[in-house]
Amino acid sequence: MTIPTLELNDGHRIPQLGFGVFKVPADEAQSAVASALEAGYRHIDTAAIYGNEEGVGAAIAASGIPRDELYITTKLWNDRHDGDEADAAIAESLEKLGLDRVDLYLVHWPTPAQDNYVHAWEKLIGIRERGLATSIGVSNFLVPHLDRIVAETGVTPAVNQIELHPAYQQRDITAWAADHGVHIEAWGPLGQGKYDLFSIPAVADAAAATGKSPAQVVLRWHLQKGNIVFPKSVRPERIRENLDVTDFTLDDAQMAAIDALDPLDGSGRVGAHPDDVN
Ligand SMILES: NC(=O)c1ccc[n+]([C@@H]2O[C@H](COP(=O)([O-])OP(=O)(O)OC[C@H]3O[C@@H](n4cnc5c(N)ncnc54)[C@H](OP(=O)(O)O)[C@@H]3O)[C@@H](O)[C@H]2O)c1
């Protein structure tokens, strides 16, 4: 299968479908990432706080896959926004990953109560200039945070990685992203398994009609929306299933039925609110 790629606003390309390793224990990360690479994934999404960058790096090293065929993302944790902490943090992440650069480095959360995310963003601009990250972006940023970093630095992030799944579509942030040429990375693309997404009729009916699984239908919906996704699984059969989403298309009615699932009152969120993470 061919995984589609998208062009970021800095001219670099990103595979639209990857593999996420949130909550993959450190001692399982190498085998999970090895399964993913074996299945054909080339884009891995990790973070310093996940505690599994070494396992990701071990799987990359053992794979023998040329570095320029891989797309690796990691993230700056919340307690490292001040001073020169971000410079130390990227050095530590690169050492654990066994890499001399990542493809994408993100400010993990805005931590608004600390009020230092503009400084963290300035540090990422420097990290990109020094070649330690090819592209830079943010995660969990709300529209006011996005407006502020752009106004104060003149640099627009390449991506904003936010919680997004059928019951929680974050239309204000996706509209801002479309207006500013920013790609959305949807974390928790399957709702983290925290609500019964797969038996909702819009999803189950599309699965029956296309002969694909409900998870594949939801991932296909993301791809057709233009979202970048990296579903997480530690099960090899699901790792393969989640990649097998490029041989079918949801029609306009199937897309519209899933679009309509967002209750528009914010109740579909399954993760933390960015204002509460500090
Ligand atoms: N920036 C952030 O703040 C942030 C926050 C959260 C996540 N993320 C990133 O986004 C990635 C994906 O999000 P996520 O891991 O939170 O949630 P997710 O991918 O929506 O859901 C993962 C859950 O779904 C299950 N699952 C996976 N494939 C399945 C399938 N085909 N059928 C049925 N169940 C399936 C997994 O179970 P099994 O493992 O047992 O298969 C796991 O319980 C993360 O790994 C991480 O890289 C970023």
Residue 246: the pLDDT is 96
Say if residues 59 and 34 touch (Cβ distance below 8 Å): yes
Rounded Cα distance, 165 and 103, in Å: 25
- pLDDT at 263 exceeding the cut of 90: no
Q: What ranges in the chain are assigned the alpha helix state H?
A: 26-39, 53-63, 85-97, 117-129, 143-153, 171-180, 201-210, 214-225, 236-243, 252-259
Residue 52 CB less than 6 A away from ligand 1: no
Residue 264 has pLDDT above 70, yes or no: no
187 within ligand 1 shell (Cβ under 6 A) = yes
Q: Quick check: helix, strand or coil at residue 193?
A: helix
236 vs 245: CA distance, rounded Å: 16
Phi first, then psi: what are they for 14, rounded to 5°? -130, 135
List residues bridging with 247 in a β-sheet. none
As a whole number of Å, the CA-based R_g of the chain is 18
Q: Could you give the domains of the chain? A: 5-194+227-236 (3.20.20.100)
Q: Which residues contact 179 (CB under 8 A, 6 or more apart)?
A: none
For residue 197, how far is its CA from the centre of ligand 1 (angstroms)? 13
Q: Encode pLDDT of 86-138 as tens digits.
A: 999 999 999 999 999 999 999 999 999 999 999 999 999 999 999 999 999 99
pLDDT at 93: 98
Q: What DSSP character marks residue 197? A: G
Atom of ligand 1 nearest to the CA of 190: 20
Query: Atom 26, ligand 1: which residue's CA is nearest?
Result: 233
Pairing of strands 228-229, 71-76: unpaired
153 CA distance to ligand 1 middle (Å): 33
Secondary structure (DSSP) of 61-97: HHH---GGG-EEEEEE-GGG-STTHHHHHHHHHHHHH
pLDDT (0 to 100) of residue 267: 78
Per-residue pLDDT tens digits for 55-96:
999 999 999 999 999 999 999 999 999 999 999 999 999 999
- pLDDT tens-place string over residues 167-218: 999 999 999 999 999 999 999 999 999 999 999 999 999 999 999 999 999 9
From 72, 111, 145, 190, give the residue whose CB has the most ligand 1 atoms within 8 Å, as the site to mutate: 190
